[in-house]
A = this chain, B = another copy of it.
Amino acid sequence: MAPEPDNLCCPGLADPVLSEAGAEELAQALKALADPVRLRLVHIVASAGEACACDLPALVDRSQPTVSHHLSTLVKAGILGREQRGKWAWFWVEADQLSAVREALTLS
């Protein structure tokens, strides 16, 4: 396959541009965004500034448990913030985290 273990055919190919750990972390954030329902949830919340969970199942046409699971995924990934207000759960977009993902996708 390759000519030699450490005599690569392409120059500059040995530099660890993106570490294994860094790739794992970025992939985790991208995975949270790489679902059509979650993308729509993020856009809906972003366009409203804030949104309470009560409206979201109807807007994305999914069951309440499914939406809850997706929201929890997005919160865990740091893309959405969450706050309980009375009996309602409110969500907003963590713009910084989204920017970080965007910038991590900027290659040299």
Q: Which residues in A have some Cβ–Cβ distance to B below 8 Å?
A: 1-3, 5, 8-15, 17-18, 20, 23-24, 26-27, 30-31, 33-37, 39-40, 42-44, 46-52, 54-55, 57-59, 64, 93, 95, 98, 101-102, 105-108
Identical chains bound together, number: 2
Inter-subunit contact A17/B46 (CB<8 Å): yes
Inter-subunit contact B47/A20 (CB<8 Å): no
List B contacts of A20 (CB < 8 A). Answer: 36, 40
- What distance in Å separates the Cβ of A10 from its nearest Cβ neighbour in chain B? 5
List B contacts of A51 (CB < 8 A). Answer: 10, 13
User: Most chain-B CB neighbours within 10 Å: which of A10, A11, A64?
Assistant: A10
